[in-house]
Chain A
Amino acid sequence: MSEASAPPEDDERVKEISGFRKSLMRPELGGICGAILVFVFFLLTAFDSGMFSPAGVMNWSIVSAQFMIIAVGACLLMIAGEFDLSVGSMIGFAGMSIALLTTSAGLPMWMAIIFTFIICVAIGALNGWLVVKTGLPSFIVTLAFLFILRGVTIFAAIATTRKTIIGGLREEAAGDWLAPFFGGKVFTGLFQWMGENGWIETFSRGTREGQPVVDGIPMLIVWAIVLVIFGHFLLTRTKFGNWIFAAGGDEQAARYTGVPVNRVKILMFMFTAFCAVVFATCQVMEFGSAGADRGLLKEFEAIISVVIGGALLTGGYGSVIGAALGALIFGVVQQGLFFAGVESSLFRVFLGVILLLAVILNTYIRRAITGEK
């Protein structure tokens, strides 16, 4: 009597969604649309302004990579349901820490970098521990650290060296084994070859005559790509990634199902601090100096990148690729508005408009994906 009933070929109760549309419905869709729109826009308005010359491309790529590094940390933390407003101050603090440890305390550069990583990740853990222990909104706890770290940075700089900008770090970093991982350039041979064969313009005078204008890919960009891939893999392919979604989606329900929510949150705070230190170290190695006002307000730029990329402010939904695309959009717009000849004071107006459009677009997409009304 009972044949093994094969599943019905065409169940009229199930809504038909084409394969194309299914592949389109992903959290990164908003970010992808936004990136395409932004590039089309600037191709139309700023094509011959130098924006798409090798030097121009390098310029906005570096700015986007900067945002990407801190956006990855902010994204994972936001998906876990928390904010970190102390990222900008941590960047200034980390840079100053490296500078003071090498110039005033006389440590070798690699030791200074490693110590700074340890100190700052510990501060990140402290942030996380305070948040989970007191139950206070992370907004408040990290806001407090925003002030604490900035104040300590300025105080330490003036107290030891009477200056707030500490230079001479290029000399300290010369010959160090760890410094090139943050401040060096890769593929220099390739760019040299391109310069010799006329693919890239070369300098016409000065000490670098004959060398290509763009002489390599800075490690900042390499770090950005590595962190984005790592973050995406962690979030979408590992059990820990599921725990992050769960902790942000519904903390109590996650605890009931056995997710170690506290541990997840503290680890995410530590990861955000790690990203901030990577940013700061790359910046210090590249510029050869540390300043007490570095990184001011960068935490908001990180959060904006993440939101443009489609993450939900209340946690539980988002994507690292989306955050990376949000960072790319932010960087291209920030630099591109200048190339397009727009009055620089209008930059913030456009930023606000883009942010609003991005959030609205992402809300529609999220509703389409998750089916919520």
Chain B
Amino acid sequence: MKSFMKKVAFATAMAAAPLMAASTASADGERYVFVSHAPDSDSWWNTIKTALGVAEGQLGVTVEYRNPPTGDIGDMARIVEQAAASGPDGIIVSIADFDALSGPIRDAVDQGIPVITVNSGTHEQSASMGALMHIGQPEYDAGNAAGMRAAKAGVKSFLCVNHYITNGASVERCQGFADAIGADLGNQMIDSGQDPAEIKNKVLAYLSANPDTGAVLTLGPTSAAPTINALKENGMAGDIYFGTFDLSAEIATGIKEDIISWAIDQQPFFQGYLPIVLLTNYNRYGLLVPHNINSGPGFVTKDTIDAVADMAGEFR
């Protein structure tokens, strides 16, 4: 029993040693917590993580990035509560589910922690919780703007490849697009899941069942890359009107190859960089920009892609 206890103690120390080393030393600057709703598998947030790193270096602050590993908003609410309990100098959070998150965010604000909301959510929701401002892209409007462009090109029906159907904002993008081209969003939106092979097969299946589809709309790099492959496989690449949200290396290549007409750049860099800059200036000097900031939409087309392509997935 004695030697057994020794073994256990040793094993625990071994497990704990890297933990001690991994703990970040307390920085002199302010500490912020960025809470996103994305599951670990969503790569779109890499740009925001890069932006947080850039802001950290420029301002001398530390930023911790937290997210629920499975994307479960219930877990995210607990993370927000926990972030508030740890007493940071500011919290940046996306309003993925207003009902679930309004309680924890309001509590954080009432404890005196400045909060900036980003990405998902509306300006009214952000203001109602007492956040300083909202930095994002209104989803329905972005989808609508995209749909207007497509309608001008004569598109009447489309396929919306939704890889993140449990986030209400993603459905709004498809809805905005559908309303702009005058179509009914019924089966035109598919739940593609997040696995690339699965997405590709679902797109192929839909297009072979509905060969008269006028356009394809993907909602991010996760759904765009497999869709490009699917279109190359069934020969529709370059023929069918293809627009997407967000940027990545594959999307940049797709634009250059005339497969994708345009990409909507939400400019996520601003959603990571600006909140840190604004919160730091607010904490240090009491300065505050008195209105919300729209980080997008910007449309990236073949004319502008070259400048952007190198940085896709990292800064753009």
A interface, CB within 8 angstroms of B: 33, 37, 41, 45, 49-51, 53, 55-56, 58-60, 62-63, 154, 158, 162-165, 167-170, 203-209, 213, 283, 286-289, 291-297, 335, 338-348, 350, 353-354, 357, 360-361, 364, 368
CB of B99 closer than 8 Å to a CB of A: yes
Q: Which of A158, A167, A364 contacts B98 (CB 8 A)?
A: A167
Provide the bound-state CA to CA distance between A176 and B4, in Å: 55
Provide the bound-state CA to CA distance between A287 and B74, in Å: 8
Chain B interface size, as a band, is: 35 or more
Provide the bound-state CA to CA distance between A67 and B72, in Å: 15
B291 → chain A, closest Cβ, in Å? 21
By the criterion CB–CB under 8 Å, are B110 and A289 in contact? Answer: no
Complex interface: chain B residues within 8 A of A293 (CB): 70-73, 166
**Stretch of B9-17, B247-255, B263-271, B280-288 that contacts chain A:** B9-17
Further 7 A-B residue pairs, CB within 8 A, beyond A294-B74, A354-B15: A56-B86, A59-B78, A60-B82, A162-B175, A204-B111, A294-B73, A368-B1
By the criterion CB–CB under 8 Å, are B86 and A50 in contact? Answer: yes
Can you spell out 5 A-B residue pairs with CB atoms less than 8 angstroms apart?
A: A55-B85, A165-B73, A165-B168, A168-B99, A206-B106
CB of B19 closer than 8 Å to a CB of A: yes
By the criterion CB–CB under 8 Å, are A291 and B12 in contact? Answer: no
Provide the bound-state CA to CA distance between A292 and B84, in Å: 26
Complex interface: chain B residues within 8 A of A33 (CB): 8
CB of B141 closer than 8 Å to a CB of A: no
Encoded as 1 (CB less than 8 Å from any A CB) or 0, chain B from 164 to 190 comes to: 011110010001000000000100000
Q: Which of A203, A283, A344, A353 contacts B111 (CB 8 A)?
A: A203
Q: In the complex, what residue of chain A is closest to B88 when comparing beta carbons?
A: A50
Provide the bound-state CA to CA distance between A85 and B218, in Å: 32
B140 → chain A, closest Cβ, in Å? 12
By the criterion CB–CB under 8 Å, are A289 and B112 in contact? Answer: no
Q: Is the interface of B mostly helix, strand, loop or mixed?
A: helix
Complex interface: chain A residues within 8 A of B77 (CB): 287
Q: In the complex, what residue of chain A is closest to B80 when comparing beta carbons?
A: A59
Encoded as 1 (CB less than 8 Å from any A CB) or 0, chain B from 104 to 115 comes to: 001101111000
Complex interface: chain A residues within 8 A of B85 (CB): 50-51, 53, 55-56, 58-59
Q: In the complex, what residue of chain B is closest to A297 when comparing beta carbons?
A: B70
Q: In the complex, what residue of chain A is closest to B19 when comparing beta carbons?
A: A342
**With contacts A288-B100, A291-B73 known, is A59 near B112, CB below 8 A?**
no
By the criterion CB–CB under 8 Å, are A287 and B64 in contact? Answer: no
Provide the bound-state CA to CA distance between A49 and B175, in Å: 44
By the criterion CB–CB under 8 Å, are A344 and B65 in contact? Answer: yes
Q: Which of A59, A163, A296, A343 contacts B171 (CB 8 A)?
A: A163
Encoded as 1 (CB less than 8 Å from any A CB) or 0, chain B from 86 to 121 comes to: 110000000011111001001101111000000000
CB of B69 closer than 8 Å to a CB of A: yes
CB of B22 closer than 8 Å to a CB of A: yes
**With contacts A206-B106, A357-B11 known, is A344 near B67, CB below 8 A?**
yes
By the criterion CB–CB under 8 Å, are B24 and A341 in contact? Answer: yes
By the criterion CB–CB under 8 Å, are B86 and A49 in contact? Answer: yes
CB of B23 closer than 8 Å to a CB of A: yes
Complex interface: chain B residues within 8 A of A361 (CB): 8
Complex interface: chain A residues within 8 A of B110 (CB): 203-209
**With contacts A154-B166, A164-B171, A167-B98 known, is A335 near B103, CB below 8 A?**
no
Q: In the complex, what residue of chain A is closest to B20 when comparing beta carbons?
A: A45
Complex interface: chain B residues within 8 A of A341 (CB): 23-24
Complex interface: chain B residues within 8 A of A342 (CB): 19, 22-23
Q: In the complex, what residue of chain B is closest to A291 when comparing beta carbons?
A: B73
Q: In the complex, what residue of chain B is closest to A170 when comparing beta carbons?
A: B99
By the criterion CB–CB under 8 Å, are A165 and B15 in contact? Answer: no
CB of B238 closer than 8 Å to a CB of A: no
Provide the bound-state CA to CA distance between A169 and B97, in Å: 13
By the criterion CB–CB under 8 Å, are B165 and A164 in contact? Answer: yes
Encoded as 1 (CB less than 8 Å from any A CB) or 0, chain B from 270 to 309 comes to: 0000000000000000000000000000000000000000
By the criterion CB–CB under 8 Å, are A165 and B97 in contact? Answer: yes
Complex interface: chain A residues within 8 A of B65 (CB): 344
CB of B130 closer than 8 Å to a CB of A: yes
Provide the bound-state CA to CA distance between A346 and B130, in Å: 33
Most B-side CB within 10 Å, residue of A164, A170, A286, A346: A164
By the criterion CB–CB under 8 Å, are A289 and B20 in contact? Answer: no
B60 → chain A, closest Cβ, in Å? 18
By the criterion CB–CB under 8 Å, are A162 and B73 in contact? Answer: no
In the A-B complex, the 9 residue pairs with the smallest Cβ-Cβ separation, listed nearest first, are: A289-B99, A206-B110, A287-B100, A55-B85, A293-B166, A167-B99, A288-B99, A50-B86, A296-B70
Q: In the complex, what residue of chain B is closest to A283 when comparing beta carbons?
A: B74
Encoded as 1 (CB less than 8 Å from any A CB) or 0, chain B from 137 to 174 comes to: 00000000000000000000000000001111001000
Provide the bound-state CA to CA distance between A34 and B71, in Å: 28
CB of B198 closer than 8 Å to a CB of A: no
A82 → chain B, closest Cβ, in Å? 24
B5 → chain A, closest Cβ, in Å? 9
CB of B81 closer than 8 Å to a CB of A: yes
By the criterion CB–CB under 8 Å, are A167 and B97 in contact? Answer: yes
Provide the bound-state CA to CA distance between A342 and B98, in Å: 28
Most B-side CB within 10 Å, residue of A62, A293, A295, A350: A293
A102 → chain B, closest Cβ, in Å? 13
Complex interface: chain A residues within 8 A of B67 (CB): 344
Complex interface: chain B residues within 8 A of A348 (CB): 69
CB of B256 closer than 8 Å to a CB of A: no
Q: Which of A55, A343, A346 contacts B84 (CB 8 A)?
A: A55
By the criterion CB–CB under 8 Å, are A165 and B166 in contact? Answer: yes
Complex interface: chain A residues within 8 A of B71 (CB): 293, 296
By the criterion CB–CB under 8 Å, are A340 and B23 in contact? Answer: yes
Complex interface: chain A residues within 8 A of B257 (CB): none
Q: In the complex, what residue of chain B is closest to A206 when comparing beta carbons?
A: B110
Q: Which of B23, B73, B78 contacts A62 (CB 8 A)?
A: B78
Provide the bound-state CA to CA distance between A283 and B8, in Å: 37
B169 → chain A, closest Cβ, in Å? 10
